[in-house]
Structure 1
Amino acid sequence: MTQTPSAQNPDEGQARARFTVPANHPMVTVLGSGDSLLRVIEKSFPRTDIHVRGNEVSAVGDPAEVALVQRLFDEMMLVLRTGQPMTEDAVERSIAMLRAPGNGEAGAETPAQVLTQNILSNRGRTIRPKTLNQKRYVDAIDRHTIVFGIGPAGTGKTYLAMAKAVQALQSKQVNRIILTRPAVEAGERLGFLPGTLYEKIDPYLRPLYDALHDMLDPDSIPRLMAAGTIEVAPLAYMRGRTLNDAFIILDEAQNTSAEQMKMFLTRLGFDSKIVITGDVTQVDLPGGTKSGLRQVQEILHNVEDVHFARLTSTDVVRHKLVGRIVDAYDRYDSREDGHDGARGHGRGHGHPGK
């Protein structure tokens, strides 16, 4: 993309920038079908006048905002040059990244770097991070032996970890993948359930199977499981084992007890990698049982080669409404905690001796 230097009008304190889209990039790839991408940009920069004429885009407004628009189009063109299309969601996430504090600092990741980082391709579909925190989480999995992915539902923490596991298996970095969850609903007493082992564990582990089907040829999964190359099992089945040459994922880790978390972490063998995912706001343990995921953050926060990656509602990559629902529940919980605190203070105030 070619661009003219920003011109500033000293009378109004406004800046102007013009971008020329190369002829080999049809304008529909930049503006979207029916100008859908342009509408997203205009909505995000309400005080900036953005006009399109032919293959030229111009922006007039506050210098800082015009500079952001300029950077946005540059980043969009970098993505488009890779052959990857821009979507409304990608444009919104690019704008959020550009507006994030510290984005302009040296070494900061750019939207194009985040949106074009491929992890895994299968049946014409590519799995890649969609947010800055997701990219940092994926990068941490490459750099560290044990990574905790902590965040709300829909942030991709389990899905991305599984994509990295399949990538590691395909590139022969590991010999097998082990996927596990605590079967809290059954109290891990699976002997009381009817059927074979796989039928017993199926209700608790079905989300992991579903993700595997996105990443591998479904016909190959039974064969890989029969050979022990992929193992999907409840956490109770990890006890007493040492896991070498494996990529191990513990999902729903907020539902582990402190003892289970220690047991799992000490299964680590040579040439293995562990990713532990969970949401500390969704603990389903019986009353009085402390979550191992909550406790482990205090115990291991300074241990070398252990990394805690934190994702938030801004990293939710399901339907946009999911992020708004997560935020609404957080606000509600904060208000309820405040009310409970106020009520508790009132009760204690009348009985100083208690």
Structure 2
Amino acid sequence: MVALLGSGDSFLRVVEQGFPEVDIHVRGNEVTVAGSETEVALVRRLFDELLVIVRTGQPLTEEAVERSVAMVRSGDGHGPAEVMTLNILSNRGRTIRPKTLNQKSYVDAIDEHTIVFGLGPAGTGKTYLAMAKAVQALQSKQVTRIILTRPAVEAGERLGFLPGTLYEKIDPYLRPLYDALHDMIDPDSIPRLMAAGTIEVAPLAYMRGRAQPVFTKVLTPSGFRPIGELEVGDLVIGSSGEPTPVLGVYPQGAKDIYRVTAQDGSSTLCCGEHLWTVRTAADRRRDKPWRVLETREMIGNLRAAHARRYELPLLTGPACFPERAVPMDPYALGLLLGDGCLTGATTPDFSTADPESATALEAALPGVRVRARNRVDYVLNRVKAPGDVVTLENPVTGVLRELELLGGRSQSKFVPDAYLYNSAEIRLALLQGLLDSDGGPVTQSGRTCRIQYTTTSILLRDDVVALVRSLGGVAYSRRRAALGRPPGRANGRVVEHRHDAHVIDIRLPEGVEPFRLTRKREKYRAAGGGGRPMRHIESIEPAGREEAVCIQVAAADSLYVTEDYLLTHNTLNDAFIILDEAQNTSAEQMKMFLTRLGFGSRMVVTGDTTQVDLPGGTQSGLRVVQEILRGVDDIAFCRLTSEDVVRHKLVGRIVDAYARYDVQVEANGHPNGVGTGNGDVPRSRGRRPAEKNGRGKHTVNMQAVEREVN
């Protein structure tokens, strides 16, 4: 009874104040209630609920009894015991629970929705409860990281005019998040979790910080473009090979840059916070999903024993470029780039020991007859029609001139852009021609078959690698020096090596046929194909400091193709993300934040639209988003009021006083006939009315506020 009624019957007096129309008498362990039937039923229900709370071991307080009275009187069917016995998190003997019905609805919404907006005045527990749910999700392994952020624009201050280092400047803005974190997690473990990236606390602007240098190339349907030139609405290539629009472009200023290099030689530049989708060999064996790590998280952790730890994803389909008309069949061009003579000094010719290739070449070149000169050499003659003059140009020569290939030697051949950035069918046909001429399958005992291609042209080497990667494969290149190599033999004569050879080992995805030539195709198939192409991170090295930019794309997995066909992205997967003080975000910042949502993640956005500290003329993103996202599935808006304030009682009264003051200002232009003293017109909706003092600062008219509080 002491736990139920309080020391000196303090709780009983709270109940009597809440139900002034009934008489409550206590004798021993019995409570007698007299009054109207409705009121008596409410009091009986209240005591039943309080007994349940006491029996759970939770101590009552006067504030808890006041809130219980309010919940019982609301008649919405939810009991105080249901609300106050909901344990969210326990740490060091302290349990965090909702204290009001609106708080419980807020907590339930976080469980049931991916994005939740918590709107209400200060002191209602918006941030604290969201933090508790985040820690709970981390401990139960629902998420792998917590990201806490808030805009650093409070009171209109600018970071550049605050003393100290960058972290000293932003620390006051983030201090409330740190304080809540220390209440819920062992303080000794917080530095370790933050160093590992499991918990990240940063100002809102740093949510964009997953960036690349402005000159880094990104693949678009028209080829590679610097990321710094992209604009919202431009198309880039996603992981499926399909184009995806750019949703946002966010300059980041100068950042420390790292070069991420894969074992196949591909590399790109990014900042330390840039995100990578990766998986380990153990993840693949256990059929676990891909994980998302920051660049800095992987530094120093790239090996598992002697094996590379992190595998990178590859294109799941060929990169899609617009189909363009080409002047020559792509397979024929591939054969000529491999075994054709393109000098232009004589009639074009072709060398092969496979008559099948010569036949295929003739079929692919209308108006040309492939004439055998000997067992391996063929001449490409123009088919003459009646009335033709002798001076007509050979069709092959004309096309080679158009493609700027005429006059090229073996060490200067290349693939024209019209073929390199064309449809997947044209790119594959060109690659098949190259491999049928200068490539082939290589089998090894106990291993899958790989494809090998050799050329003396550095340009052609790079183009072949690009063709393979654009089709979802991998290519490893190595150089075979001419100097010191034993000479070869051709028709019984010694042939010296005059140029270095570039050998490319290729693996293509299943379903991509690398050969048309029968003997090569059958050997490749007999060996079981080329195996699964894979790409792992080899090294991460510092690369200086550069101006950087971040982009956001619309692809479902948020991946886009950067240099050397590497896949990277900027969203946050498997994370619990909290944006505090969201009323101080602009509409653009709010959009940027919400579009960072990744797979398996949750977001909670908290704020009070009556306390906006943005510069004049800037619209609060928290106000705008309520109109934009109204009715969108899996997004909830939870509103807390002064009745949900869990701080000092006076805080709730102050909140109500300000609310009444704002209503009067909107209705009459001034509260209770009291002007601002200088004829100022009221501010925009939701802003506190203010007047200017002698230094140009704004101060609230406190006389009217004090009257309302009193």
Same fold (TM > 0.5): yes
Matches within 5 A, 1:175-186: 175-185=144-154
Indicate the residue corresponding to 1:230 in structure 2. Answer: 199
- In the aligned structure 2, how far is the partner of 1:159 from the partner of 1:114? 16
Indicate the residue corresponding to 2:660 in structure 1. Answer: 331
- In the aligned structure 2, how far is the partner of 1:229 from the partner of 1:134? 27
User: How far does residue 338 in structure 1 lie from its aligned partner after superposition?
Assistant: 2.1
User: How far does residue 186 in structure 1 lie from its aligned partner after superposition?
Assistant: 9.1
- In the aligned structure 1, how far is the partner of 2:586 from the partner of 2:126? 20
* Residue-by-residue CA offset, 1:139-172 (whole Å, 9 max, x unaligned): 0000000000000000000000000001111111
Do residues 305 (structure 1) and 634 (structure 2) align? Answer: yes
- Counterpart among 104, 107, 111 of residue 138 in structure 1: 107
Instruction: Give the conservation status (yes or no) of the 8 Å contact 1:182–1:188.
Output: no
- In the aligned structure 2, how far is the partner of 1:73 from the partner of 1:250? 39
Q: What secondary structure is seen at the aligned counterpart in 2 of 1:283?
A: coil
Indicate the residue corresponding to 1:258 in structure 2. Answer: 587
Q: 1:187 to 1:44 in 2, by over 3 A?
A: closer
Do residues 57 (structure 1) and 31 (structure 2) align? Answer: yes
Indicate the residue corresponding to 1:274 in structure 2. Answer: 603
Instruction: Give the conservation status (yes or no) of the 8 Å contact 2:588–2:621.
Output: yes
Q: 1:198 to 1:219 in 2, by over 3 A?
A: farther
Q: 1:141 to 1:163 in 2, by over 3 A?
A: same
Indicate the residue corresponding to 1:152 in structure 2. Answer: 121
Indicate the residue corresponding to 1:293 in structure 2. Answer: 622
Indicate the residue corresponding to 2:7 in structure 1. Answer: 33
User: How far does residue 138 in structure 1 lie from its aligned partner after superposition?
Assistant: 0.2
Where does structure 2 lack aligned partners over 5 or more consecutive residues? Answer: 209-549, 551-569, 674-710
Q: What secondary structure is seen at the aligned counterpart in 2 of 1:208?
A: helix
The one-letter code sitting in structure 2 at the alignment partner of 1:272 is S
Q: Find the structure with the greater CA-based Rg.
A: 2
User: How far does residue 200 in structure 1 lie from its aligned partner after superposition?
Assistant: 2.9
Q: What secondary structure is seen at the aligned counterpart in 1 of 2:605?
A: strand
* Residue-by-residue CA offset, 1:90-126 (whole Å, 9 max, x unaligned): 11111100111x42xxxx3211000100101111111
- In the aligned structure 2, how far is the partner of 1:133 from the partner of 1:304? 21
- In the aligned structure 2, how far is the partner of 1:80 from the partner of 1:192? 53
Do residues 68 (structure 1) and 68 (structure 2) align? Answer: no
Q: 1:83 to 1:56 in 2, by over 3 A?
A: same
User: How far does residue 197 in structure 1 lie from its aligned partner after superposition?
Assistant: 4.3
Say what the alpha-carbon RMSD is for the aligned residues.
1.8
- In the aligned structure 2, how far is the partner of 1:185 from the partner of 1:140? 28
Matches within 5 A, 1:86-97: 86-97=60-71
Instruction: Give the conservation status (yes or no) of the 8 Å contact 2:156–2:614.
Output: no
**Higher RCO (CA-CA < 8 Å; seq separation 6+):** 2
* Residue-by-residue CA offset, 1:250-288 (whole Å, 9 max, x unaligned): 000001000000000000001000000000111111111
Do residues 48 (structure 1) and 7 (structure 2) align? Answer: no
- Counterpart among 77, 80, 91 of residue 111 in structure 1: 80
Q: 1:34 to 1:186 in 2, by over 3 A?
A: closer
Q: 1:188 to 1:40 in 2, by over 3 A?
A: closer
Instruction: Tell me the TM-score normalised to structure 2 length.
Output: 0.43
User: How far does residue 339 in structure 1 lie from its aligned partner after superposition?
Assistant: 2.3
Task: Count how many residue pairs are aligned between Structure 1 and Structure 2.
Answer: 312
Instruction: Give the conservation status (yes or no) of the 8 Å contact 2:118–2:639.
Output: yes
Do residues 203 (structure 1) and 176 (structure 2) align? Answer: no
Q: What secondary structure is seen at the aligned counterpart in 2 of 1:43?
A: helix
- In the aligned structure 2, how far is the partner of 1:127 from the partner of 1:341? 42
- Counterpart among 87, 98, 102 of residue 72 in structure 2: 98
* Residue-by-residue CA offset, 1:18-38 (whole Å, 9 max, x unaligned): xxxxxxxxx101111111111
Where does structure 1 lack aligned partners over 5 or more consecutive residues? Answer: 1-26, 344-354
Q: Return the structure number with greater strand share.
A: 2
- In the aligned structure 1, how far is the partner of 2:654 from the partner of 2:130? 24
- Counterpart among 130, 141, 160 of residue 161 in structure 1: 130
- In the aligned structure 2, how far is the partner of 1:233 from the partner of 1:147? 20
- In the aligned structure 2, how far is the partner of 1:287 from the partner of 1:186? 12
Q: What secondary structure is seen at the aligned counterpart in 2 of 1:114?
A: helix
Do residues 212 (structure 1) and 178 (structure 2) align? Answer: no
* Residue-by-residue CA offset, 1:53-73 (whole Å, 9 max, x unaligned): 111110001111111110011
Do residues 284 (structure 1) and 253 (structure 2) align? Answer: no
Instruction: Tell me the TM-score normalised to structure 1 length.
Output: 0.85
The one-letter code sitting in structure 1 at the alignment partner of 2:71 is M
Identity %: 79
